[in-house]
Amino acid sequence: MKKALFLLVLLLPRVQSPSFAAQVPSITSTTKKAIRATLKVRGVFSPRGFFNIEVRLYHLQGLKRYRFDLKDSLAILDFKPGVSISSSSLRNVMVMAGYQPGPVKIEEIPVSQMNDRGRGWLAPPKIDSHWAFIRWLELNF
């Protein structure tokens, strides 16, 4: 009986409802749903503070678009459907940029919501050159 309860506790996070899935540290979206990650960043109070986070976001696989909220120190990232995202990889982006990561929220959103091009949404540039120097130029200019 104890073993059964233990197994149940272990399996619970895997069978939870979609609304609760937003709180788990890692998520893989379905082909019909995209992923939105909201990162709270500590210590960013100016546009320049987001620069170092921005250039690191480009290397996250499947990142479709992103925007920054200076008022609440948030980075909001939308990923393509079918991408696996973990909160540890997102936290690492902030750590590598020199900031202390705050809470990370990962949730599934309808793809139609991701296609809404509102003000403030940015798209990562294409960095696909064979040459490292050209990739550096693509990254910075």
Partner 1 sequence: MQFVCNRRHHKKDKKKRSSCLLLLTILLTGPLNSRLQAAPATFITALPVSQDQLLARFSFNPTLSSNPSAPSGGTQVNNYQFPETFLYGLTDKIALAVDARQGFSSMQEGLPQGSQSLSAAGAGDTLVFARYTLLDIDHPGNTFRVAPLLGTYLPTGYYNQSNASGRLPQALQNGSGSVDSLLGLTAAFYNRRYGWSWDATWRHNPPAPGGFDLGDEARTDGEFEFRIFPHSLPSSYLPRELVGVFETNCIWNNRSVIAGNLDSASGGFSWLFWSGFDYATLHWEWGAEVGVPLIQNLNGPGAINQVVSFRLFYEYYLAMPSWRKKKPHLNQPGL
Looking at beta carbons only, is 32 or 42 nearer to partner 1?
Answer: 42
Residues 6+ apart with CB under 8 A from 19: none
CB of 67 to partner 1, least distance (A): 7
CB of 4 to partner 1, least distance (A): 32
Contacting residues toward partner 1, per CB under 8 A? 40, 42-43, 45-52, 54-61, 67-74, 86, 88-89, 92-93, 95-100, 102, 118-120, 132, 135-136, 139-140
Looking at beta carbons only, is 16 or 26 nearer to partner 1?
Answer: 26
Looking at beta carbons only, is 8 or 134 nearer to partner 1?
Answer: 134
**Within 10 Å of residue 64's Cβ, how many Cβ atoms?**
18
Q: How far apart are CA 123 and CA 91, in angstroms?
A: 20
**Within 10 Å of residue 138's Cβ, how many Cβ atoms?**
15
CB of 131 to partner 1, least distance (A): 12
Q: How far apart are CA 20 and CA 119, in angstroms?
A: 29
Looking at beta carbons only, is 34 or 57 nearer to partner 1?
Answer: 57
In terms of Cβ atoms closer than 10 Å to its own Cβ (0-12, 13-18, 19+), residue 32 is: exposed
